[in-house]
Amino acid sequence: MEQELKEERKRAGLQEISERVFRKRYAYSSTETWSECAARVGGFVAKAERDPEVEMKWKEEFSLAIEKLDFLPGGRTLRNASRPHSQMLNCFVLDVEDNIEDIGMLCHDVLVVASGGGGIGVNFSKLRPMGASLRRKGGEASGPCSYMQMIDRIGDTVETGGQRRIALIFILNVNHPEIQDFIHLKEKEGFINNANISVGVTEEFLEAVRLDNDWELTHGGKVYETLQARDLWKEIIHANHNWGDPGIFNISLANKYSNIYYRDELVSPNPCGEIPMAPYDCCCLGSVNLANMVTPPVMQDGDLFQWGRVDWDKLEKTVKMGVRFLDNVLSTNDYPLPRIKETCDQNRRIGLGIMGLHYMLLDLGIKYGDNDRCLKFLDELFRRMKESAYEASADLAAEKKSFPRFRKELVMKSEFIQQLPEWLQDKIARQGLRNCAVLTIAPTGSTAQLPQVSTGLEPIFACAYTRRARLGEGEEEHEDFVVIDPKFREFSDADLPTEHFSTAHDLSVRDHLLVQAAAQRHIDNGISKTVNIPHDYPVEEMEKDMLYFASRIKGSTMWRDGARDIAILKPLDIDEAKRLLGEGNHTIQVHEHDCGVACEI
């Protein structure tokens, strides 16, 4: 049995660390192999096909792509496909109206969704602020922040009930009268334990900040307070600088480039931030492994002979297959709530993303960040992926019908659709679209552990780093072990150049955000991105950088070293990493990127 597993890993690309991740998180049983998992997932999702011959064809293609690690579905799909009550979607957005009955229904919905492993986003801006009068029953409202704490406590209950820790994100719009209390929620120790928080900003607010204009805090047509917009912006950024929260969610930008702008308002992203949604919509996620879409560099006579090359045909084929796979997931999923099923059936929103981007760049000899070669390549890469994905969705519409809320004359006016090439716009006008949105970039912190590649859009965390762990409660931290990035070891072992290796901590804020902005131009959903910044990064610079990029990206999270006094990972410089490679006391593993909440993507 052990020899068979070794042969399977060699054939499918699983390494020992990948095997442990697979068995712990995704295996159907203690004996399921990776090959069997790929067949299970591919076969179950292919059941959405109506013709038996077509089903068999796609079962084979889906299964092979997963087994070869060219494409990986989201974590819930990997784990739950073919299980009883197969809830295969990672996250949802719920809604709450300004009445006690709806608040009670939100508690019910959170319990139901979370008990099935779903992450949840909620925008609380409809709730009246603390101190506002209650007309029906008299007294005063306790305000949205109090109900956020209540929902967060449900997360504690679900966790103690034996499930994984709940993933939540709470949004409050920047014009809400309680926004200043919300900004500082995470500074209150123990008030919010399970949720990320983000301020829903608008282009109107950002322009007021730039012009140093007044900003009104309103609810129900009443102006509660008038502030200087710039002062409020500084308060948001200073809190993020100190605590890593709140993040920024640009509601205006999310809705401006929505293909269903005429039907639904997008009010919140999922907890990791990659899918802005209307209430009761879902995250249906999968990722193309870009590291498998490029040939490796070639050495000859001790010198670099040729950098890697992109296999554009393979990439196009994998993207189109991924679109069909995710559309099929929507058809075979067992939804947690009837209203969620209705919305997902009507919109058919999917999110095809990536992993292994930085590994691809390294094999191509391209340095990640603010340089012409990188940004031009990213523009071409994501443009090609966008066109392939939209062509696939149009072809699916011809085969299986458009999403029910598709209105040709309105969809064709979408600002995102109008950026597509004329030939593709003509095709959509003729055939329709199967999905209201198709592309995203999820964090892939968990699923990228299977092929052991860089996560999502992120650069590698470090060529090498030390991980610190506590010996026990109340004891001081100690250095536990050294972790070396697999791609760095691969290059070092082959004597390939490593001068273009840049890491999360080498890069400037501008490097990070220019890469995100380059991708966002071609992504119809959103992007999950964490910007690592040094401890001594001036808060004044953060104010300027985020104001410049806030109108170019739908959301982002800044994480300053030492925020909340958390520093269990210590990056090492490249010379130290090379020295440690010569010593045997280290682990080879991809850094598991953390978007701040429990996530299986």
Per residue in 474-524, pLDDT (tens digit) is 445 555 578 889 999 999 989 999 999 999 988 999 999 999 999 999 999
Residue 494 structure tokens: 């082959």
Cβ atoms 212, 230 nearer than 8 A:
yes
Q: What's the rounded Cα separation, in Å, for the pair 570 and 468?
A: 8
Residue 580 structure tokens: 């440690």
Q: Would residue 245 count as lying in a domain? A: yes
**Residue appearing with tokens 């506590």:** 470
Amino acid, single-letter form, for residue 554: K
Q: What's the rounded Cα separation, in Å, for the pair 542 and 238?
A: 9
pLDDT for 471 beyond 50:
no
pLDDT tens for 204-224 read 999 999 999 999 999 999 999
Q: What's the rounded Cα separation, in Å, for the pair 594 and 600?
A: 10
**Local structure of residue 52 (DSSP, 8 states):** H
Dihedral sign, Cα of residue 123, residue 129, residue 135, residue 139 = positive
**Local structure of residue 563 (DSSP, 8 states):** G
What is the pTM assigned to this prediction? 0.93
Nearest to 341, CA basis, from 599, 89, 562, 163: 89
Q: What local confidence, expressed as pLDDT, does residue 578 receive?
A: 73
Cβ atoms 367, 378 nearer than 8 A:
no
- Which of 269, 304, 332 terminates a domain? The answer is 269
Q: What's the rounded Cα separation, in Å, for the pair 328 and 309?
A: 32
Cβ atoms 95, 122 nearer than 8 A:
yes
pLDDT band at 9 (very low <50, low <70, confident <90, very high): very low
- Which of 269, 304, 336 terminates a domain? The answer is 269
* 196 three-class SS: strand
Classify residue 5 as exposed, middle or buried by CB count within 10 Å of its CB (0-12, 13-18, 19+).
middle
Cβ atoms 72, 37 nearer than 8 A:
no
391 vs 58, 83, 196, 541, CA distance in Å?
18, 32, 35, 41
Q: What local confidence, expressed as pLDDT, does residue 260 receive?
A: 98
Q: Would residue 41 count as lying in a domain? A: no
Q: Would residue 118 count as lying in a domain? A: yes
Q: What's the rounded Cα separation, in Å, for the pair 7 and 539?
A: 52
Q: Would residue 357 count as lying in a domain? A: no
Nearest to 304, CA basis, from 315, 296, 312, 292: 296
Amino acid, single-letter form, for residue 539: V
Say what angle helices 229-243 and 203-211 make with each other, to 10 degrees: 110
Q: Would residue 530 count as lying in a domain? A: yes
Nearest to 435, CA basis, from 401, 388, 403: 403
Cβ atoms 399, 415 nearer than 8 A:
no
Q: Would residue 394 count as lying in a domain? A: no
Q: What local confidence, expressed as pLDDT, does residue 5 receive?
A: 43
Q: How many domains are there within the chain?
A: 2
Q: What's the rounded Cα separation, in Å, for the pair 232 and 248?
A: 13
Q: What local confidence, expressed as pLDDT, does residue 33 receive?
A: 95
Nearest to 417, CA basis, from 202, 256, 551: 256
Q: Would residue 81 count as lying in a domain? A: no
Q: What's the rounded Cα separation, in Å, for the pair 84 and 338?
A: 18
- Which of 269, 294, 328 terminates a domain? The answer is 269
Q: What's the rounded Cα separation, in Å, for the pair 569 and 461?
A: 10
Percent of the chain with pLDDT over 70: 90
Report the CATH number at residue 166: 3.20.70.20
558 vs 61, 193, 242, 283, 383, CA distance in Å?
39, 19, 10, 23, 27
Percent of the chain with pLDDT over 90: 75
154 vs 107, 109, 340, CA distance in Å?
8, 11, 20
pLDDT band at 535 (very low <50, low <70, confident <90, very high): confident
Beta strand 168-173 with 587-588 is unpaired
In Å, how far from its chain's centre is CA 588?
25
pLDDT tens for 87-144 read 999 999 999 999 999 999 999 999 999 988 899 999 999 999 997 777 776 678 889 9
Q: Would residue 520 count as lying in a domain? A: yes
Nearest to 528, CA basis, from 191, 118, 198: 198
pLDDT tens for 42-80 read 999 999 999 999 999 999 999 999 999 999 999 999 999
Beta strand 298-300 with 477-484 is unpaired
Domain that holds residue 253: 91-269
Beta strand 91-94 with 268-269 is unpaired
125 vs 100, 144, 254, CA distance in Å?
15, 7, 17
Q: What's the rounded Cα separation, in Å, for the pair 205 and 435?
A: 31
Residue 70 structure tokens: 């060219």
Phi, psi angles (nearest 5°) of residue 121? -115, 140
